[in-house]
Amino acid sequence: MDLKEIMEKGLAAIGHAHSLEALNDVRIEYLSKKGHLTKVMGTMKDLSNDEKPLFGKRVNEAKEAIDSALKAKQQQLESVRLDEKMKADAIDVTMPGTLFNIGTQNPIISIQREIEELFREMGYQVVEGDEVELDLYNFERANIPQDHPAREMQDTFYIDEHTLLRTHTTAIQTRTLEAYAPHVPLKVICPGKVYRRDDDDATHSHQFVQIEGLVVGHGITLSDLKGTLSLFAKRMFGESRVIRFRPSYFQFTEPSVEVDVSCHICDGKGCNVCKQTGWIEILGAGMVHPQVLKDAGYTDETLTGFAFGAGVERIAMLKYGIEDIRSFYINDKRFIEQFKRYE
Ligand code: PHE
């Protein structure tokens, strides 16, 4: 090839190179020690001394032209490659993300919230308290005397002589009564964790959640309690549920009742869940004991009130047919995931 041809073909080859690798091949073919331009330089010895400088100059010009064309093309190809890389590496923010495998709200919390919501609609306030409580509010103010079996070491977790892990959310109620007296009406719902020295099994847990309600005012009667709890039972177990009261005993209520709801599984006909009775016990309740009101600072003896307390785990177990209370606490995703549909 003569110099003219080398120039033309070299520039054309640079024009056609579509990758940095191909461009490098062109560089080697034209500019390396064994390349066309080196070869053409070898022909210089055949020229006359007059022709040599001009030829040398032309070779240099050709070399520079090819070299600068190579550089320009290289820059262009590099920027194309960068663009492609940026395009390939770009994060498409419109793509759906990777879904983390998360659980769902524990049914205990959902039911607690549902109950809170129901009572809020009826004008109650939600009040919480501390899990570490004074004996005074857990027992004394609930009219539970010194020699009561619940006060025994084997039933209650004591921290010291006067301090314990509350055994019922009635402790929140005695505190609320004291804080609120002598004002009425008082309508509160008190959810919270409580602790008892029970051996854990399918139906017992040393820690569980209670939710208690308390109303104090003028003219509050047992039938108000029944109406309220009837609504509660229907909301939890279905519109066709009815409740009944059975006489019972609590230190802080008089009279006291045990509340049964007609069985939501067999509709009261009798089945395994209701032990063939058609009824399921769901909570304890009663009219607030006058002593409790008095100790809290209510001096108006015409005031009355009602209170009730339910175990949230028990309600959840009945509602969803859960047989082992420990299922709520062991964080087994297979258990918890079943409640997604209730959210
Ligand atoms: N505090 C009682 C319990 O823990 C429940 C209860 C509350 C009963 C309010 C009557 C009134 O079993």
Burial of residue 19, with CB atoms counted within 10 A of its CB: 0-12 exposed, 13-18 middle, 19 or more buried: exposed
| Mean pLDDT estimate for the chain | 93
Which pLDDT belongs to residue 310?
97
Q: How far is the CA of 259 from the centre of ligand 1 (A)?
A: 11
pLDDT 10s digit of each residue in the chain, 343 long?
788 899 999 999 999 999 999 999 999 999 999 999 899 888 888 889 888 898 889 999 999 999 999 999 999 999 999 999 999 888 888 988 888 777 788 999 999 999 999 999 999 999 999 999 999 999 999 999 888 887 887 899 999 999 999 999 999 999 999 999 999 999 999 999 999 999 999 999 999 999 999 999 999 999 999 999 999 999 999 999 999 999 999 999 999 999 999 999 999 999 999 999 999 999 999 999 999 999 999 999 999 999 999 999 999 999 999 999 999 999 888 898 888 765 5
Atom of ligand 1 nearest to the CA of 142: 1
Q: Is 305 in the pocket of ligand 1 (CB under 6 A)?
A: no
Q: Is 250 in the pocket of ligand 1 (CB under 6 A)?
A: yes
* Length reported for the chain: 343
Which protein residue's CA is at the shortest distance from atom 5 of ligand 1? 309
- Answer whether 307's CB lies under 8 Å from 285's CB: yes
Which pLDDT belongs to residue 342?
56
CA atoms of 138 and 166, how far apart (whole Å): 6
Among 314, 290, 313, 311, smallest CA distance to 302 is for: 290
CA atoms of 141 and 136, how far apart (whole Å): 6
Which pLDDT belongs to residue 250?
94
CA atoms of 210 and 234, how far apart (whole Å): 19
Q: Is 170 in the pocket of ligand 1 (CB under 6 A)?
A: yes
Q: Is 143 in the pocket of ligand 1 (CB under 6 A)?
A: no
Q: How far is the CA of 284 from the centre of ligand 1 (A)?
A: 5
Which protein residue's CA is at the shortest distance from atom 7 of ligand 1? 309
What burial letters (b/e) apply to 28-67, b meaning 16+ CB within 10 Å? ebbbeeebbbeebbeeeeeeeeeeeeebeeebeebbeebe
Q: How far is the CA of 170 from the centre of ligand 1 (A)?
A: 7
Atom of ligand 1 nearest to the CA of 168: 4
Q: Is 213 in the pocket of ligand 1 (CB under 6 A)?
A: no
Which pLDDT belongs to residue 148?
85
